[in-house]
Structures are given as structure tokens and as C-alpha cells.
């Protein structure tokens, strides 16, 4: 069995695509996923499965509209191994996420989209926003005191936005922590 971090894009945002986490856990357990755990209501799931990542992605993308009343139906799923989420954390830009009182730091996960196609979408404002390309992610940082001047929300106007899911740095690191703990429980148990 492998440990996976599942990022679901488009649920529980702005009152749309309401998917209660307890109901999502139950749905996934009934679909034969093991050790299903959720973290906050923004579509973060950690689970175990013997299936390959792409099969899990397809299965969850089919289960969601079948079990939940989704408003727009546009929900995408990204499946990461614990090693992949570890690499996102390990390969962050130097100092990224280390000054939470000064900066809002986010990881923008790219869903089946090449980084070279995404980077031109971002138009960071000098002195307010910074972005860095990563392997399958964009690291984004906004100066908290000037976040209302940030241009990063402009990505929502781009068609590429539907192939991204954003997690703040605290959530990304917590997902790694939960997946590592789940993986260790299996090896020690």
C-alpha cells in the first residue's frame, strides 16, 4: 500500500461545490481506500491505496459528481505520493515560508500543465509579489502588508487557472507531516 496526498480543486470554495469532509471520508472508504484522513475543508485528503496514482485520480473524479451535488461540476483531482509532496517542501526557494508574519506564502500545484506554459500567466508586482518555478509547482509569496496590491489574483482570469490548485505553505507542510506519519505507522505496525 502506498500513502497518497490527494488535492481536490474546486470544492468548498465561495459556497460552491459543497463537500462535507466527513461525507467525503465515508465515500472514499466505501470505495475501498484505506486510512482515509482529511485536513481542513479545502479538499485535502491523505489515504492509502495499492492502486496507481492515475487510477486513483480518475476514480475520485468519477466519485465526486456521483455522490455530491456539485454546482459547476468542474472539480479536478491531483494525486501525489508522499515522496512527491516531500520534494515540493524540500525544493522550496531559500527562505520561502519562513517569515509568516511578513509574507503570505502559497504553493500553486499544476495539474497536468507544464511550468513553461504557466509562468507567463503571472505578472508579479515589484516589491509586493515574488514567484519561483518549481517541479510541477509555482511558489508564490506576497508581502502581507501590501497584499491588496498583489497581482497574483490575476491568475484567476487565465484559462490556466482551472489547471491549478493552491495551498498555503502551512497546509502544504501539514499534509507532508500527516502523510509521513501515516507511512511510518504502516512500517512500524
Which residues on neighbouring strands pair with residue 140, listed in sequence order?
Answer: 106, 131
Same domain for 70 and 11?
yes
What tens digit of pLDDT does each residue of 57-98 get?
999 999 999 999 888 767 899 999 989 999 999 999 999 999
Tally the domains of the chain. Answer: 2
- Inter-axis angle of helices 169-188 and 82-90, to 10 degrees? 140
Angle ∠(15,59,157) on CA atoms, nearest 5:
40
CATH number assigned to the domain comprising residue 106:
3.30.70.1260
Q: Would you state the cell numbers that stand for residue 49, as one nine-digit string?
A: 491505496
pLDDT digits (tens, 9 = 90+) for 37-59: 999 988 999 999 999 999 999 99
Residue 57 grid cell: 485520480
Q: Are residues 76 and 91 in the same domain?
A: no
pTM (predicted TM-score): 0.92
Q: Are 47 and 7 in contact (CB under 8 A)?
A: no
CB 58 within 8 A of CB 76: no
Amino acid at each position: 500500500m502506498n500513502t497518497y496526498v490527494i488535492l481536490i480543486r474546486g470544492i468548498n470554495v465561495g459556497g460552491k461545490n459543497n463537500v462535507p469532509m466527513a461525507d467525503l471520508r465515508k465515500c472514499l472508504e466505501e470505495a475501498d481506500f484505506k486510512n482515509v484522513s482529511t485536513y481542513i475543508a479545502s479538499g485535502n485528503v491523505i489515504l492509502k491505496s495499492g492502486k496507481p496514482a492515475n487510477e486513483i485520480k480518475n476514480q475520485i473524479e468519477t466519485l465526486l459528481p456521483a455522490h455530491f451535488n456539485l454546482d459547476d461540476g468542474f472539480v479536478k483531482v491531483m494525486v501525489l505520493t508522499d515522496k512527491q509532496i516531500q520534494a515540493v517542501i524540500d525544493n522550496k526557494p531559500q527562505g520561502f515560508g519562513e517569515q509568516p508574519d511578513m509574507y503570505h506564502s502559497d504553493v500553486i500545484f499544476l495539474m497536468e500543465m507544464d511550468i513553461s506554459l504557466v509562468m507567463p500567466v503571472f505578472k508579479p508586482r515589484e516589491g509586493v509579489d515574488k514567484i519561483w518555478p518549481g517541479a510541477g509547482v509555482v511558489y508564490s509569496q506576497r508581502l502581507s502588508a501590501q497584499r491588496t496590491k498583489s497581482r497574483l489574483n490575476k491568475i484567476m482570469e487565465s484559462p490556466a487557472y482551472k489547471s491549478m490548485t493552491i495551498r498555503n505553505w502551512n497546509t502544504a507542510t501539514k499534509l507532508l507531516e500527516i502523510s509521513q506519519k501515516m507511512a511510518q505507522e504502516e512500517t512500524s505496525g
